[in-house]
Amino acid sequence: MRHLLGYIMVCVAGLALLGCVRKAEDDGAYRVTVRLHGGALQHIDSATLLVIDPDYGQQRVLGGARVQDSTLAFAGHVAGAQLAYVDLSSDSLPYQFYFILEPTDITISIGPRHWQISGGRGNRSYQQFLNRHDRLLSSRDSLWREYVRMGTDSTLTWDAERSSLRLDSLLQDSLQRIIVERINRGDLVSRLIKQRLLPTLTRESLQKIK
């Protein structure tokens, strides 16, 4: 009986140890899937996943992948959230897609005129901000098209022109304000937004960047 009890205890300890090993292996695991839609980047045949050192800005290659059925797949382990990008090689200009690499499943969909990313808190925050930014930008574009239409149809009155200009100014101020506010948070999402939208800021807004 004692021998049986000892054997059971050894087995239990072994299973617990195996579980700890597997948990350690699973910690920090990431999977990045890049899907190319609608002929986007059709000359791409391979890509490389890189991370950027937060202190020195140096790049480190994590791995490479070849396109299979318009899909690229990367997998590995990462200690925590890091700024990363997928470098897609092509015969024409290079294309680099920046995102936040986290220990989770991340899916990137790239089309000819639109892209979307899901997976991870940082990427969710990044996508939500860009959606908000794009809605304001779309409202401004719609206002401009309506302004041009009224001018073409000779229906543009002085009051309508003043109203359009005032609303355009408000939308522009909102765009500038949300970009500056988000950049000044100083996290990884801020770095992505700064890289993407800094050229759209006015001189006055640039002076507000910390």
Please give the average pLDDT of every successive group of 10 residues along the chain, which has 210 residues: 46 45 63 87 84 79 91 93 88 80 95 89 96 95 91 88 92 96 96 95 95
Q: Which residues make beta-bridge pairs with 46?
A: 66, 89
Q: Which residues make beta-bridge pairs with 51?
A: 60, 84
Give pLDDT, residue 105. Answer: 97
Give pLDDT, residue 156. Answer: 86
Pairing of strands 71-77, 82-89: unpaired
Angle of the 158-183 helix axis to the 121-152 helix axis, nearest 10? 160
Angle of the 158-183 helix axis to the 188-197 helix axis, nearest 10? 140
Instruction: Give the closest residue to 118 by CA, choosing from 110, 108, 128, 126.
Output: 108
Give pLDDT, residue 43. Answer: 75
Give pLDDT, residue 111. Answer: 85
Query: Which structure tokens are listed for 195?
Result: 């890289």
| Top-tier CATH class for 26-119 | mainly beta
